[in-house]
Amino acid sequence: MKADVLVVGSGIAGCAAALAAAREGADVLVVTKATEPEDAASDWAQGGIAVTQSAPEEFAADIRRASDGTADPEAVETLVSESRAVVEDVLLGTLEVEFDAVGGGTDGTGAADFDLAREAGHSSRRILHVDASTGAHVLRPFLQHLSARDGVRIVDDATALDLLTEEGTVRGATVLADGEVEPVFAGATVLATGGIGDCYARSTNPAGATGDGVAMAALAGATVSDMQYVQFHPTAYDPRTDPQADDAQPFLVSEAVRGEGAALRDADGRRFMPDVHEDAELAPRDVVARAVSRARDRTGRVVLDASDLDFREEFPDLAALCDDRGVDLDAGIPVAPSEHFLCGGVAVDDRGRTSLSRLFAAGECARTGVHGANRLASTSLLEGLVWGVRAGETAAERGRGEAEAVEYASPRDSDPALPDAFADTKFDRLGRTMDGFVGIERTPDGLGTARARLRRLKGEVDAYARTRVSRSIYELRNACVSSLLVARAAADAPSAGCHSLVDPDGSEESDDAGQGVTPRADD
């Protein structure tokens, strides 16, 4: 199979890359593990999309402030300066997304008068949203549009296994679909595979977020950086407070709820955030997440008190989720931090180009430099959209008419398949290691323990992967590689943003902002 542009992943970044490449006349093939929109993290996004209003410099300052001063100024400028145009072009003009509007929905001139929300770290209201389920209202029409568009083919329920390389140039990827491994030769390849949620036991990501793009790129020799910056969302529903609840998948309680005035309280009913930061509940995510974690450890429970809001009216989707879990809204929503977003990843430039020729990356698997050490709320969909479009345009220019077959070694599949419990057991070990030692606060000794355990686990998985081909085996391999990259980068970098390195007594080791590192994929 051949294509001018191969896109791996079907979240907002992958869809944006496919659309942009198709607009440039490229033959585009989208390969995705997903079978339904909700399999992509973009579909789960609640808050919305931050867009420049009348003060772009204020937006840029908020991004830099949230990043603990580590965001790349040029990348921030790219995001802020292009946010409005790309949203108007793709989301409003092409997809006709109906973002929530105020009153009659127009400002009197026929233009939409949007109901702009505010979230933590933002100094003003600038976030477009649809209730608290914006991702679903963006991704689903996006996939429908691409499915009907000439020049775009989508192959779902398919797993990219490895990149095909020739002398430092990426020529496509091997893909597992319908039980068969097939090479896809491409003039250019765009990785848009999402994050690393499955590396942790508790994550707000959908199942299948196994760091595939990061691992494949790293194993092919691409530069990976800032992997220590794993963001934990401070307010995920905490099922551990309910012995009858299934704690496998907490659901996210949007930051927009705090933006509308909800307060965080400990088990004693005390509102603790005003003592932590001048912005209280609207402090940057890393600050709030650590404060919630410590208050929960200290008192046993933290709740989000939304009693001053008309919660059911303003957040009906979240209210329904709470009802499904039997949450007493009058008593507050029990919350705890949960792995949420990878700020680092495959290092790219302002066009999504990686260090390998003809390989691009966009979305959560890419390190653009926008987020630095901590992501500002409601910038992930925007970053995926901006860099997805830029990567797609440049990939089309580079790859149009350039797909050619190269020699490759098909993976061996000579041994019997493993039982389903094999992968489940290994992922359980992986999650316990990452949650226990590479979580919201880390110690040097704990990171050393994590690296040793992760190396052993990766060695076990590699031994099985050498003679077996299955989605679960390759996902395990990718998750182990990505986890090792996080643990090694965390051990080599001082504290900054969401990477908090502490002494065993809990005191911060360093407040200096660290630069991204490029760890080895096989450490």
Largest distance between two CA atoms of the chain: 68
Which positions ≥6 away from 397 have C-beta within 8 Å?
A: 24
HSE of 409, CA atoms in CB hemisphere, 13 A: 5
* Cα separation values, 490 from 172, 306, 434, Å: 31, 35, 12
345-347 vs 224-225, strand pairing mode: antiparallel
Which positions ≥6 away from 507 have C-beta within 8 Å?
A: none
End-to-end, the C-alpha distance of the chain in Å comes to: 34
Please check whether residue 185 is in contact with residue 1, taking contact to mean a CB–CB distance below 8 angstroms.
yes
Residue 428: other Cβ atoms inside 10 A: 11
Residue 441: other Cβ atoms inside 10 A: 17
180-191 vs 2-8, strand pairing mode: parallel
Residue carrying structure tokens 């031994």: 463
49-50 vs 28-31, strand pairing mode: unpaired
- How far is residue 23's CA from residue 388's CA, in Å, rounded to a whole number? 13
Q: Is 162 helix (H, G, I), strand (E, B) or coil?
A: strand
| CA quadruple 30, 48, 148, 151: dihedral sign | negative
Please check whether residue 177 is in contact with residue 56, taking contact to mean a CB–CB distance below 8 angstroms.
no
Q: Is 147 helix (H, G, I), strand (E, B) or coil?
A: helix
* Cα separation values, 22 from 28, 103, 148, 260, 263, Å: 6, 37, 12, 40, 46
- How far is residue 172's CA from residue 6's CA, in Å, rounded to a whole number? 7
Which of 507, 506, 519, 511 has its CA nearest to residue 495?
Answer: 511
Annotated active-site residue 285? The verdict is yes
Q: At what angle do helices 12-23 and 134-147 cross, to 10 degrees?
A: 30
Please check whether residue 367 is in contact with residue 226, taking contact to mean a CB–CB distance below 8 angstroms.
yes
From the candidates 118, 258, 285, 353, give the one annotated as an active-site residue.
Answer: 285
Please check whether residue 435 is in contact with residue 442, taking contact to mean a CB–CB distance below 8 angstroms.
no
What is the set of active-site residues?
A: 285
